[in-house]
Amino acid sequence: MFVGITIKENEKNFYITKKIPELVIKRGAFPLMLPGYNSEFYVKEISEILSGLILAGGGDVDPALYGEKNTKSKEINRQRDLFEIKLIKSMYVLRKPVLAICRGMQVLNVAFGGTLYQHIEGHFQKEPKDMTTHRIFLRKNTMLYDIIGKDSMDVNSFHHQAVKDIAPMFRVSGVSEDGIVEAMEHTEHPFFIGVQFHPEYMHEKEPFKRLFDAFIEVLR
């Protein structure tokens, strides 16, 4: 089983936290790092090879892709945006699982017609990444609720943007105490889940472990 993982880049290097490839390997799958090349051939071939996809964190999505001017967005990489949007749609058509993390959830929303808040306050913690700092509430009758097994959980938080208008055919599966969308999922796909927090930094702890275990189980 090959799990694609999107990665960040600058002018010279590609990079990603080691946590995501490590958690994939520990669960018996093989991670493939995916540079953001906006090529139809590349997207088609990668989609066919992959068993599933993890959309990792990174810079902000280009606001032009959801019909807005840039007011607060930063670290934009339009080529990565376009690549990931094409890849998301290809994985959807092939009915393959996608787990979208932080920026990943935001680009997932934009890919299907949703919009974003370009800046919010109070959601970028100073504490270490493996420390939870606020509570979110999960909605019953959602896939995420069934996976986690309870109606609330404490999470970490490292984002200044958030889902605004949720894309058609998606539903909100988790919200923060101040009403920010913390999780979303497609209503007609076996596993198309986005989370705004970073579960990879706590993937060996409950309930975060359940999320990655469920993702890998779907691949099998």
Per the rule left: phi > 0, alpha: psi between -120 and 50, beta: everything else, 39 is beta
- List C-alpha distances in Å: 27 to 9, 99, 108: 26, 15, 24
Helix, strand, coil percentages for the chain (3-state, nearest 5): 30, 25, 45
217 classed as catalytic: no
- The answer to whether the CB of 75 falls within 8 A of the CB of 59 is yes
198 classed as catalytic: yes
68 classed as catalytic: no
Q: Which of 123, 186, 198, 203 is catalytic?
A: 198
Q: Which of 84, 102, 182, 185 is catalytic?
A: 102
How far is it, in rounded angstroms, from Cα 55 to Cα 91?
A: 12
Q: Which of 84, 182, 185, 200 is catalytic?
A: 200
Catalytic residues: 102, 198, 200
